[in-house]
Chain A
Amino acid sequence: MFNLSSAGWIMLTGALVAGSCALLGCFLVLRRLSMLGDAISHAVLPGIVIAFVLSQSRGSLTMFIGAVALGFLTTFAVQYLSQRGIEGNAAIGVTFTSLFAVGVLLVSVYGQHIDLDLDCVLYGEIAYSPFDTLMVRGHFLGPRPIWINGVLLTLNLLMVGLFFKQFKICAFDPGMAAAVGINVSLMHYLLMALVSVTTVGAFESVGAILVVAMFIVPGATAYLLTDRLGHMLLIAVALGLLSSIVGYQMARWLDCSIAGAMATACGAFFLLAFLFSPKHGVLMRMIGQWQIRRRLVEEDLLLWAWRRRERSHQPHFTVGELGEGQNWAVREALVVAQRLVRTRLLAVSEGAYRLTERGLRYTEDLIRRHRLYESYLYGLGYPTDHVHAPADRVEHHLSPATVAALAKATSDTPLDPHDKPIPPEPPTRKNHE
């Protein structure tokens, strides 16, 4: 179906569209205007059709003017409606579906007279882009969509490059932006105008519905992968390009809609980032929680052993005793105890475990946190039988600064509310002993 060069043209068209959309999409995502981007990309349809009917040609300047006009109309209408008490999302929904519907009507009314196909408008027909060639005085200059989207990408890069600081401060803190003299609404309408014209370019290749994926998904993906705005823009554009290449290969393999495959690739990258992002990914969070849970179980064992030693002066314990004391299955007790032996907090000989010197020090620190917190709560007026449970919950998580503050608040009291000694602060322990 495709020859190599047309495959190249198609991927290039997709990459240019995705790059433009991803660049602007970052700002839409950051300003929580994702749905407004969606709205504009749909609502420009009637503008395009009207311009198309008037000018009888595709890709003309009139078409861009029509799109920008409708883009502004959408922005104004949404703002006006939400200021008049219509809920924000409802205002967006009402505006863009109505305008889009008008566009669909116009296409079906004028569709017979003009060369504009509803399927093409809705789903795009990027596969035809190589055949829509630009001829100037008989010279072949490559497919027209390449030129249009190339110019649009350049325009977007130029605008974002020139006004990077304005876009940045307006997205982060519009109040401050206005206070330092930046024209916030001008920047807002500039962004919306760029979204409108970019949509026109994207229309023919990916269609009215999938262009939203190009706007929002790469930006939302990049947001998960970095903490710097500049990097976010770069990553989003790179993801846009990558999606177009991967999407095209997928479409060729499955013999399916190219635009659909490109948008699906965007979605797949998002899913990957959502699961595996080093900072915000679900997997890393799960690993983090699993590590904490593991540490809590280990610390509970150490605390049990330490208290048993304090109570009965019996430093040795067996896995059976541990399981009984902690209400654990013997198997689980054995696994946890063995792990602590490996980290040298416990030592074992002939089935009898005991805390090592290192284990004692580690656990005394936990006991100190626990008893200081108990004393603190007691000082606040909690009865003695109400302080153990909260201390049990927080002892694993107190930072050294908090412990120091607790010690200060309780005036370094040597005994907790149950008259048990509070281990002193580690570095000064020798002086106390």
Chain B
Amino acid sequence: MDERVTTTEEGPTKKSTVTAKPPPLEVHDLTVAYHRRPVLWDIDFAVPKGRLVGIIGPNGSGKTTLVKACLGLVPLASGWVRCFGKQPSEQRKRVGYVPQRESVDWDFPIDAIDVVMMGRYGGLGWFRKPGSKERKIAGECLRKVGMADYAKRQISQLSGGQQQRVFLARALAQRSDLYLMDEPFQGVDAATETAIVGLLNDIKAQGKTVLCVHHDLQTVTEYFDWVLLLNMRQIVFGPTEEVFTNENLRRTYGGRLNIISDVADAVARKLPDKSKDKWTG
């Protein structure tokens, strides 16, 4: 389906001849469906290099699904995603990922530095084992998030904020140019929140690009220079000061902000259980 789109419409191959460098992330007329029911549609944006982008929307608006689509982890019903001008599957080493903290089993018998080393697995190929080089990188990344003293700690013995920092350190260990983060601020303490914001700005200062699923509307203008407002379809995408308006928020959250949960519940009820966990959030 990708080929069909790229040949019939203005695909990235044509664009790349015009502009020298393709954008870190380009999403074109994307639709994602679970069991033939669309959960995400009309998604069309290109993220310029070196931006901190917040993905904002109510529960069940498809934020996590969008992140997974950008990583090439869910099948696309139509449209395409390009990372630096190529398929996400061809850019694994340039795209870092921070999944939702709740998505893994924190009782897993593994310590913090081992989790961080997983960020290096992609570069090791099929058979090479992580060694002292990977351990060193992982140690540095733990230090950057203020977790150097916890390297040998089993992960269930860390607080929620510390676990989130371990996940961020793992993404740093990927040494990517584009980061996709799913709710890195979810359930963290104030100190971790400050640490994460500092880290995001460091990443940005290196000319790298970050997309963050975020749900605290209070902090959006403070943390992100661009936003994507999403409620199953793309409401608006652009610089925060231009598009993060009450009018757009009202369009995203369906009138009154306090009916968000009602809407999410109603939508969730319409879908089978199995697909629910994949796309809520």
Show the binding face of A for B, using Cβ within 8 Å: 30, 32, 82-83, 85, 162-166, 168-169, 171-173, 175-182, 223, 226-229, 231-232
Contact in complex: B104, A179 (CB < 8 Å): no
CA distance A228 to B156 in the complex (A): 12
B195 within 8 A of A: no
Q: How far is the CA of A85 from the CA of B274 in the complex (A)?
A: 7
Task: Provide the residues of chain A in CB contact with B156, threshold 8 Å.
Answer: 227
B129 touches A180 (CB 8 A): no
Q: Kindly state whether residue B73 has any CB partner on chain A within 8 Å.
A: yes
- In the complex, are the beta carbons of A30 and B108 less than 8 A apart? yes
Q: Check A180 against B122 for contact (C-beta < 8 Å).
A: yes
Asked if residues B121 and A169 are in contact (CB atoms below 8 Å), the reply is yes
Bound complex: CA A360 to CA B119 (Å): 52
Q: How far is the CA of A163 from the CA of B122 in the complex (A)?
A: 13
CB of B124 within 8 A of chain A? yes
Q: What 0/1 pattern do residues 145 to 161 of B give for CB contact below 8 A with A?
A: 00000000010100000
Of A32, A168, A177, A226, most buried by chain B (CB within 10 Å of CB) is A168
How far in angstroms is the closest Cβ of chain A from B64?
10
What residues on B are CB-neighbors of A180 within 8 Å?
92, 97, 118-119, 121-122, 174
- B90 to A, closest residue via Cβ: A181
* Residue among A83, A85, A169, A175 with max Cβ neighbours from chain B (10 Å): A175
Query: Please, how many angstroms separate the alpha-carbon atoms of A172 and B156 in the complex?
Result: 13
Complex interface: chain B residues within 8 A of A229 (CB): 108-110, 114
Which of A166, A173, A177, A178 counts the most chain B CB atoms within 10 A? A173
B116-147: which residues lie under 8 A (CB-CB) from chain A?
A: 118-119, 121-122, 124, 126-127, 129-130
CB distance from A180 to the nearest CB of B (A): 3
Give every chain A residue within 8 A of B95 (Cβ-Cβ): 179
Are A227 and B118 closer than 8 Å at their CB atoms?
Answer: no
Smallest beta-carbon distance A226→chain B, Å:
6
Task: For residue B58, give the distance in angstroms from its CB to the closest CB of chain A.
Answer: 22
- Some 13 contacts from A to B, beta carbons below 8 A apart, are A30-B109, A168-B118, A169-B118, A172-B104, A173-B99, A173-B104, A173-B118, A178-B73, A181-B93, A223-B109, A227-B111, A228-B109, A229-B108
Instruction: Give the distance in Å from the alpha carbon of A169 to the alpha carbon of B109 in the complex.
Output: 12
Residues of B near A228 (CB, < 8 A) are 109-111, 154
* B residues less than 8 Å from A227 (CB atoms): 109-111, 154, 156
- Residue B264 is within 8 A (CB to CB) of chain A in the complex: no
> What are the 7 closest A-B residue pairs judged by CB atoms, nearest first?
A180-B122, A181-B92, A227-B154, A179-B97, A173-B104, A175-B99, A181-B122
Q: Is there an interface contact between A179 and B73, defined as CB atoms closer than 8 Å?
A: yes
Q: A82-B274, A172-B115 are in contact. Are A182 and B109 (CB under 8 A)?
A: no
Contact A181 B89 (CB under 8 A): yes
Contacts of B110 in A (CB 8 A): 168, 172, 227-229
Q: How far is the CB of A358 from chain B (nearest CB, A)?
A: 31
- Does B103 reach chain A (CB closer than 8 Å)? yes
User: What is the CA–CA distance of A182 and B108 in the complex, to the nearest angstrom?
Assistant: 19
Residues from chain B with Cβ under 8 Å of A85 in the complex: 272-274
Cα A433 to Cα B185 in complex, Å, equals 44
B4 to A: closest C-beta gap in Å: 25
Interface bits B85-105 vs A (CB < 8 Å: 1, else 0) = 000010011010101000111
Quick check: B121 and A165 within 8 Å, CB to CB?
A: yes
A329 to B233, CA, bound (A): 69
Which partner residue on chain A sits nearest B100 by CB separation?
A175
- Docked CA distance A223–B203 (Å): 38
CB distance from A371 to the nearest CB of B (A): 25
Interface string of B61-72 (1 = CB under 8 A from A): 000000010010
Instruction: Taking A166-B121, A181-B93, A229-B110 as given, write out 9 further A-B residue pairs in contact, using a Cβ cutoff of 8 Å, ordered by the A residue number.
Output: A85-B273, A164-B129, A175-B99, A175-B103, A178-B73, A181-B92, A223-B109, A227-B154, A228-B109
B237 to chain A, nearest CB (A): 23
Q: Is the CB of B103 within 8 A of A173?
A: yes
- Chain B nearest CB: distance from A417 CB in Å? 26
Task: Give every chain B residue within 8 A of A32 (Cβ-Cβ).
Answer: 105
Least CB separation from B115: chain A residue = A172
When C-beta atoms are compared, the residue in chain A nearest to B125 turns out to be A181
List, in ascending order, chain B residues with CB within 8 A of A164's CB.
Answer: 129
A229–B115 Cα distance when bound, in Å, is 12
Min Cβ gap A189→B in Å is: 16
Instruction: Report chain A residues within 8 Å CB of B109.
Output: 30, 223, 226-229, 231-232
Using CB atoms, name the residue of chain B closest to A86. B274
Complex CA–CA separation, A165 to B115 (angstroms): 11
Please report the C-alpha to C-alpha distance between residue A180 and residue B71 in the assembled complex, in whole angstroms.
10
Bound together, the chains give a CA A176 to CA B122 distance in angstroms of 10
**Which chain B residues numbered 215 to 274 have a C-beta less than 8 Å away from chain A?**
272-274
- CB pair B97–A176 under 8 Å, yes or no, is yes
Given contacts A169-B118, A175-B73, A180-B122, contact A162 B127 (CB under 8 A): yes
